[in-house]
Chains A and B, each alone.
Chain A
Amino acid sequence: MRSTFHTLETSKRSLFTQQAAINTVGHNIANANTRGYSRQVVSMTAARPIEAYGLTRSTIPGQLGTGVEFTDIRRIRTSFLDDQYRNQNKLVGTYSIQADTLDKLEAIINEPSDSGIRTVLEQFWNAWSDLSKDPENVTGRKIVRESALALIDAFNSISRQLDDLSADLTTNIEVKATEINTIIGTIASLNTEIRRIEGLGDKANDLRDQRDLLVDDLSRIANVSVIESEAGYTISIGGMIVVDGSTATPVTAQALVGAYQNGDLDSGEIHGMIVSRDVYVADYRRQLDSLANTLANGEIQVTIPAGSYIPPSVASTLNPPLTSPLANNTVVTVKGINGLHQLGYTLEGGPADRFFTTSDGSTTFTAGNLRLNSAIEDDVNKIATSMRLDAGGAVVRGNNTLALLMSELKDTRFTFDETSTGNGVTSATLGSYYNALVGEIGVIANRMKRNMLNSQMQLDQVDANRQSVSGVSLDEEMSDLIRFQHAYNAAARLMTSFDEILNKLINGTGVVGR
């Protein structure tokens, strides 16, 4: 049976629904610039028409519509695009961190320039060459000492900078771990809230948006895998479950490093930091240490001219043992600058001591513990240049054999023994080893920059797709607003006109003759 106030009810329903739509448009407009916001639309359906099939059904033709109602307010979001975004975001995270670290490494290396290791090494060889022209003179010796100190300083300072960089990265890993824990804590509580609200039948659009935004942020930090279930998002990072329903399991930096080492953590900013620290910085330091050690200790072969004298304490240790003076030009294998220096005599006539020492007494030299023998630092006359004694056993000061041999080391092939770090044995001049080192960092840095730009470009594209689906378009909202406004106005007009009709019915019917 048709009701008297049927149309009032219809227009009332329309008013409520259009108002809800206008409210939603207002919400969208307000959140047009909110990060992670996906636009919401009201789903309108026609209300159940009358009359339903039943025994007491009337016979007027039907079905008569009863207006509009809205079943839900939903957000427009494609979870497939979210997955794509997260998969790309983790790559951007790791590449950008690695590119940044390599940038810092390039600044530490500081080549090409006039203050890098290459220049100080050249000046060291040149100082020996100048000393070879003037071996009796104390000025030349002072210059050799100063250039040795400059070389050692360059090594030491680079080693310190690498230590600092490594410590920075470690601190950053801790900071990121804390960040992860904060995020997963929030996600777990959001899981609980959303479950509660949706358990009552509502859609928790804004909370879901917040949760997805947090997961996006998390995906840059580490590679996450997200599974949605009734209890909410189950998130695992690098094989460890961190969010399960309302429980958040915090991670530690050590656990993350462990996950990296067994291959589970393979992307994201933390992965980038661990790779930077344990691969790039560590590798560069290893090569620099090898350079320092080989400079001081690496095996070289030198040809000592006939007529030279070798201090007896050293000559007896050589293989084969040599007698002084040498009868012919002899090829001798010695260990680095230290070994070569000990083949000569100082200005005062005693056998020379080692040129380089370590600051901590160890036998292996590193870039950090390389030092100039303090005896030489205090007294430049202890720098050996001569390999000749006269008939009375006094040193011939004008002999410059050792100084010449030292200056020739620039073009001598050293043996770089890196078997202790698993890298085999190389034979190269110091200069070419260093050049190769610089070139390697250059290649890796170049490649990482390219990777970063590429992954960023792809991320931007996925983000554009997401925006295309979920982004708020003010123009669209404006025209929707007009649409709903018109509908609201029309419904209000309908109500007004029906009000007049009722007025006629109630007040104007049956008053004939009154």
Chain B
Amino acid sequence: MPLRVTPGMMHTQLTRNLNRTLTDMSKLQEQMTTGRKINRASDDPVGITYSLRYRSELQANVQYQKNIDMALSWLDFNDTVLQQAQDVLKRLKELAVQGANGTNPGVALGNIADEVVQLKEQIIDIANSTLNGKYVFNGEKTDIIPYDPTVPSFDPSQVVTDSGAIYYMVGVGVKLQINLSGNDVFGRPGEADNIFTVFDEIINALQNGNHAGVTAQIANIESRMDKILTQQSEIGARVNRVELMQNRLKDLELNLTDLQSKTEDIDFEKLIIDAKINENIYQASLSVGAKIITPSLVDFLK
């Protein structure tokens, strides 16, 4: 404590303390307007490294969810297409059973043969399905039509589709294959139950009145339908897995948002109370200061 106190010293002290109170007020105000505790790196150096990490992970999480949405849409589309193929094969089987019945006259067989030809066109269409301009059954060669009818001497049963797997990134280090290969669904060249071979055989048999030939193909139709069913269950399994991942990502998103908020965001109630207290202190120091610094001896000497 100095023994001699001059008014100058008291002025300086008042100014300094007012300045300190104003600095605190300005900091509280900044926090209230931005809603964040951390407005620059020096506010909380450790907190900011966490906060940056949470933000990164949240952004990555959002990206993975986008990838999953697209993966799900692709898988759903595949499922729909396979179901359409199953419907065609079911109709084919009905026609084949009808055609195998030896009591049908030749004209009836001709009509059945016509419908089977149409069904074959339908299956080729299905095999050339596109999603977003990409052919779904040609592996990685998504810009090249797998069963190209414009090729001279086009024989779909001899087409080899690409077997490349297309992967989407759905988590850190987690890749998911989302496509099927046409050969797995419709059969490889040379397989007895290659759907196009079956079609050709049935059309041939119907046009030649070969009931036995038609009967022989029914087993192949059923075999192909089973194989398509297997592909469908494979897709179903993948969809389940993707949906599980989606749920996990959503939970993670909530978690990360929570953590980020705890690190960065202000506690609004506490901040308002602090600001009010600060305001009171400022007003009190202003009023007391004014009373102390104004009078001097000169006022009292006449």
Are A and B a genuine interacting pair, yes or no? yes
- A: which residues have CB within 8 A of B? 32-33, 102, 106-107, 109, 111-112, 118-119, 122, 125-126, 129-130, 132-134, 136-137, 307, 388, 390, 396-400, 404, 407-408, 410-411, 431-432, 434-436, 438-443, 445-446, 449, 460, 463-465, 467-469, 471-476, 478-479, 482
Instruction: In the A-B complex, list the 5 residue pairs whose CB atoms are closest, starting with the nearest.
Output: A442-B41, A442-B45, A468-B2, A445-B42, A398-B142
Q: How far is the CA of A404 from the CA of B140 in the complex (A)?
A: 14
* A467 near B12: Cβ-Cβ < 8 Å: yes
* A112 near B52: Cβ-Cβ < 8 Å: yes
Q: How far is the CB of A252 from chain B (nearest CB, A)?
A: 34
* A479 near B297: Cβ-Cβ < 8 Å: yes
Residues of B within 8 A of A473 (CB): 4-8
Sampled A-B contacts (19; CB under 8 Å): A106-B41, A112-B55, A122-B60, A125-B63, A126-B63, A137-B133, A397-B142, A398-B134, A398-B142, A442-B41, A445-B45, A446-B43, A449-B42, A460-B12, A468-B6, A471-B8, A472-B6, A475-B296, A482-B301
Q: Could you mark each residue 162-184 of chain B with 1 if its beta carbon is under 8 Å from any beta carbon of chain A, else 0?
A: 10101111001101000000000
Residues of A within 8 A of B60 (CB): 122, 125-126, 410
* A102 near B297: Cβ-Cβ < 8 Å: no
* A398 near B141: Cβ-Cβ < 8 Å: yes
Q: How far is the CB of A111 from chain B (nearest CB, A)?
A: 6
The B150-209 residues at the A interface (CB cut-off 8 A) are 162, 164, 166-169, 172-173, 175
Residues of B within 8 A of A400 (CB): 140, 166-167
Q: How far is the CA of A404 from the CA of B64 in the complex (A)?
A: 12
* Given A404-B167, A439-B49: A122 in contact with B59 (beta carbons within 8 A): yes
Other than A468-B9, A469-B4, give 4 A-B pairs with Cβ distance below 8 A. A106-B41, A118-B52, A396-B141, A434-B52
Q: Is B90 an interface residue (CB 8 A)?
A: no
* B169 near A411: Cβ-Cβ < 8 Å: no
* B45 near A439: Cβ-Cβ < 8 Å: yes
* A438 near B42: Cβ-Cβ < 8 Å: no
Q: Could you mark each residue 281-301 of chain B with 1 if its beta carbon is under 8 Å from any beta carbon of chain A, else 0?
A: 000000000000000111001
Task: Tell me which of A112, A411, A442, A475 contacts B7 (CB under 8 A).
Answer: A475
* Given A126-B59, A478-B301: A438 in contact with B41 (beta carbons within 8 A): yes
Q: How far is the CB of B148 from chain A (nearest CB, A)?
A: 15
Q: Is B56 an interface residue (CB 8 A)?
A: yes
* A133 near B70: Cβ-Cβ < 8 Å: yes
Q: How far is the CB of B119 from chain A (nearest CB, A)?
A: 29
Q: How far is the CA of A107 from the CA of B56 in the complex (A)?
A: 20
Residues of B within 8 A of A136 (CB): 134, 142-143
Question: B4, B49, B66 — which one has the most chain A CB atoms within 10 A of its CB?
Answer: B49
* A388 near B42: Cβ-Cβ < 8 Å: no
Question: A125, A136, A404, A467 — which one has the most chain B CB atoms within 10 A of its CB?
Answer: A467
* B48 near A442: Cβ-Cβ < 8 Å: yes
Q: Could you mark each residue 23-58 of chain B with 1 if its beta carbon is under 8 Å from any beta carbon of chain A, else 0?
A: 000000000000010101111111011011101100
Q: Could you mark each residue 259-271 of chain B with 1 if its beta carbon is under 8 Å from any beta carbon of chain A, else 0?
A: 0000010000000
* B44 near A442: Cβ-Cβ < 8 Å: yes
Task: Tell me which of B2, B55, B168 contacts A132 (CB under 8 A).
Answer: B168
Q: Is B13 an interface residue (CB 8 A)?
A: yes
Task: Tell me which of A125, A432, A443 contacts B45 (CB under 8 A).
Answer: A443
* Given A398-B139, A411-B172, A442-B48: A468 in contact with B166 (beta carbons within 8 A): no
Q: How far is the CA of A133 from the CA of B176 in the complex (A)?
A: 12
* Given A133-B70, A472-B6, A478-B297: A446 in contact with B49 (beta carbons within 8 A): no
Q: Could you mark each residue 101-134 of chain B with 1 if its beta carbon is under 8 Å from any beta carbon of chain A, else 0?
A: 0000000000000000000000000000000111
* B53 near A435: Cβ-Cβ < 8 Å: yes
Q: How far is the CB of A226 from chain B (nearest CB, A)?
A: 24
Question: B44, B60, B264 — which one has the most chain A CB atoms within 10 A of its CB?
Answer: B60
Q: How far is the CA of A342 from the CA of B13 in the complex (A)?
A: 68
Q: How far is the CA of A399 from the CA of B143 in the complex (A)?
A: 11
* B8 near A439: Cβ-Cβ < 8 Å: no
Q: How far is the CB of B174 from chain A (nearest CB, A)?
A: 10
Residues of A within 8 A of B63 (CB): 125-126, 129-130
* A399 near B8: Cβ-Cβ < 8 Å: no
- By beta carbon, the residue of chain A nearest B50 is A435
